Amino acid sequence: MSSPRTVYVKTFGCQMNVYDSERMVEALVPSGFIETKEIVDADLIVLNTCHIREKAAEKVYSDLGRIRDIKIERETRGLRTVVTVAGCVAQAEGAEISRRAPVVDLVVGSQSYHRLPGLVERIEAGERRIVETAFPDDDKFAQLPTRAGVRPPSAFLTVQEGCDKFCTFCVVPYTRGVEFSRPVADVVREAQILVENGVRELTLLGQNVNGYHGAGEDGSPWPLARLLNHLDGLRGLERLRYVTSHPGDMSDDLITAHRELESLMPYLHLPVQSGADRMLAAMNRKHSADDYRRIISRVREARPDIAISTDIIVGFPGETDAEFQATLDLVNEIGFAQAYSFKYSQRPGTPAASIECQVPDDIKTARLLQLQNLLERQQRSFNAACIGRVLPVLFERRGRREGHIVGRTPYLQLVHAEATADAVGHILPVTISASTRNSLTGTVQAA
């Protein structure tokens, strides 16, 4: 073990980055690092970045400005700070980052996290500005340490990475690379270790998780439904979720899993992006608005109470008022429990960025506002419909208010309830008494 040092990690973007950040910290522990929540105390700062929209990517540079001041201030106290940019901005921009922000010592792409301890060591030994963004041949998962240590009740587990769909707006196929599914045995081993360490709920992650096709013991590919069936039998694991999916990979057996598997929670995040077929074609989504409607109605047949969530982009190049209206119509028909919506953002290197008829920003803003008002009403009414029901809540942590704990319903709604902290890690029946847009309040039922 080397001398103890501290690492501060800031995570931007999606759940996969949250998972990656955890694994980066775990990879650094054998080199003597412990995590700190105070950036000014950190010997190593890691920004785990997101490149999906311009705003997310630009945020990194404003943070780096502040980090430069921290680094200078620490130098006056005789302390060194290694500044690392990881994640999708690292992958997409590489050496350009340290040219724009010379404070950065190390740029490390998402396929090289297992090399982070060695790279940090090289910087500490005096090397300057290392950029490691190739997609290496070695399997990073196999090189990362196993996931020992007690954990909160809900955990992420990446089973699939990268994407071959090439939606014309999206950087993921370029930043995360081609689709890769982890072998079944690896996933099951990691799930077992997590459960042994206190995890009760697993969310399987992938950019296109329902396209999972990891190799089974005999080398033949397992679809996601088979993996879920297998994990459903894991003793001690109470809840399963998966995110994020593509409509094109919503297979019959996956829909059936929603009917049959008790541990598979009634929640499906299925991005639709637009309700207009001409837009969907220009986005290279390979599905129509009616395909989406049909999938949702089959999923609802299998699991009538399922909460449906989605992603929507407004102002994709060429989107007309009528096409935006088609999106509103689809949202009205489906009725989402929850949704993420965005203004289209031109991303360098993606096909849609060079389409001529870009939609002016003021129109995008107005459309987003209108859409978000509708989605907010739907979310509020989904939550309000839970008032009076008794829902099983997996309690995850203490709340901010004394004597309150926080958990989630099967539909992924946040629940605040009065209870002692020993309820954390347990699934308890809660009578829901009030709701807001983003959460529910309730009372734990006596045993």
Binding site for ligand 5AD (CB under 6 A): 52-53, 169-170, 271, 273, 311, 313, 342, 344-345, 347
Does 243 bind ligand SF4 (CB under 6 A)? Our answer is no
Does 166 bind ligand SF4 (CB under 6 A)? Our answer is yes
Using CB distances below 5 to 8 A depending on partner kind, what does residue 52 bind out of ligand SF4, ligand 5AD, none? Answer: ligand 5AD
**Residue 44 or residue 276: which is nearer to ligand SF4 going by CB?**
276
Give residues 267-286 in contact with ligand SF4 (rule: CB under 6 A): none
Q: Note every long-range contact of 119-127, with CB atoms under 8 Å and residues 24 or more positions apart, other chains counting.
A: 120/28, 120/31, 120/44, 120/82, 120/84, 121/31, 123/82, 124/80, 124/82
Does 349 bind ligand SF4 (CB under 6 A)? Our answer is no
**Residue 163 or residue 432: which is nearer to ligand 5AD going by CB?**
163
Give residues 205-224 in contact with ligand SF4 (rule: CB under 6 A): 207-208
- Residue 351: count of CB within 10 angstroms of its CB: 16
**Is the bond preceding 244 in cis, omega lying within 30 degrees of 0?**
yes
Measured distance CA(391)–CA(386) in Å, rounded:
8
Using CB distances below 5 to 8 A depending on partner kind, what does residue 408 bind out of ligand 5AD, ligand SF4, none? Answer: none
Using CB distances below 5 to 8 A depending on partner kind, what does residue 347 bind out of ligand SF4, ligand 5AD, none? Answer: ligand 5AD
Using CB distances below 5 to 8 A depending on partner kind, what does residue 112 bind out of ligand SF4, ligand 5AD, none? Answer: none
Q: Which residue's Cβ lies closest to ligand 5AD?
A: 311
The distance of closest approach from Cβ of residue 294 to ligand SF4 in the complex, given in angstroms and rounded to an integer, is 19
SS3 146: coil
Give residues 103-142 in contact with ligand SF4 (rule: CB under 6 A): none
**Residue 309 or residue 383: which is nearer to ligand 5AD going by CB?**
309
Does 178 bind ligand SF4 (CB under 6 A)? Our answer is no
User: At residue 133, what are phi and psi to the nearest 5 degrees?
Assistant: -130, 10
- List, in sequence order, the alpha helices (H) in 233-360: 252-260, 277-282, 289-302, 321-334
The distance of closest approach from Cβ of residue 344 to ligand 5AD in the complex, given in angstroms and rounded to an integer, is 5
**Residue 35 or residue 277: which is nearer to ligand SF4 going by CB?**
277
CB distance 391 to 445 below 8 Å: no
The distance of closest approach from Cβ of residue 98 to ligand SF4 in the complex, given in angstroms and rounded to an integer, is 27
Structure tokens at 270: 């299925």
CB distance 49 to 10 below 8 Å: no
**Residue 71 or residue 246: which is nearer to ligand SF4 going by CB?**
246
- Distances from the Cα of 284 to the Cα of 52, 169, 348, angstroms: 17, 9, 17
Q: Contacting ligand SF4 (CB under 6 A), which of 16, 67, 106, 163? A: 163
Q: How many CA atoms lie within 13 A of 408 on its CB side?
A: 18
The distance of closest approach from Cβ of residue 178 to ligand SF4 in the complex, given in angstroms and rounded to an integer, is 11
CB distance 225 to 245 below 8 Å: no
**Residue 14 or residue 326: which is nearer to ligand SF4 going by CB?**
14
Does 167 bind ligand SF4 (CB under 6 A)? Our answer is yes
User: At residue 233, what are phi and psi to the nearest 5 degrees?
Assistant: -90, 0
The distance of closest approach from Cβ of residue 267 to ligand 5AD in the complex, given in angstroms and rounded to an integer, is 16
Instruction: List CB contacts of 341: < 8 A, sequence separation 6 or more.
Output: 311, 312, 313, 314, 368, 371, 372, 375
Using CB distances below 5 to 8 A depending on partner kind, what does residue 163 bind out of ligand SF4, ligand 5AD, none? Answer: ligand SF4
Measured distance CA(21)–CA(49) in Å, rounded:
10
SS3 171: coil
Structure tokens at 283: 């986005």
The distance of closest approach from Cβ of residue 51 to ligand SF4 in the complex, given in angstroms and rounded to an integer, is 11
Determine the residue type at 69: D
Does 172 bind ligand SF4 (CB under 6 A)? Our answer is yes
The distance of closest approach from Cβ of residue 163 to ligand SF4 in the complex, given in angstroms and rounded to an integer, is 3
Instruction: List CB contacts of 273: < 8 A, sequence separation 6 or more.
Output: 167, 279, 280, 283, 285, 311, 312, 313, 316
**Residue 52 or residue 184: which is nearer to ligand 5AD going by CB?**
52
SS3 74: helix
The distance of closest approach from Cβ of residue 145 to ligand SF4 in the complex, given in angstroms and rounded to an integer, is 28
The distance of closest approach from Cβ of residue 170 to ligand SF4 in the complex, given in angstroms and rounded to an integer, is 3
The distance of closest approach from Cβ of residue 205 to ligand 5AD in the complex, given in angstroms and rounded to an integer, is 13
DSSP state of 359: P
Give residues 46-105 in contact with ligand SF4 (rule: CB under 6 A): none
- Give the footprint of ligand SF4 on this chain (CB under 6 A): 163, 165-167, 170, 172-173, 207-208, 246
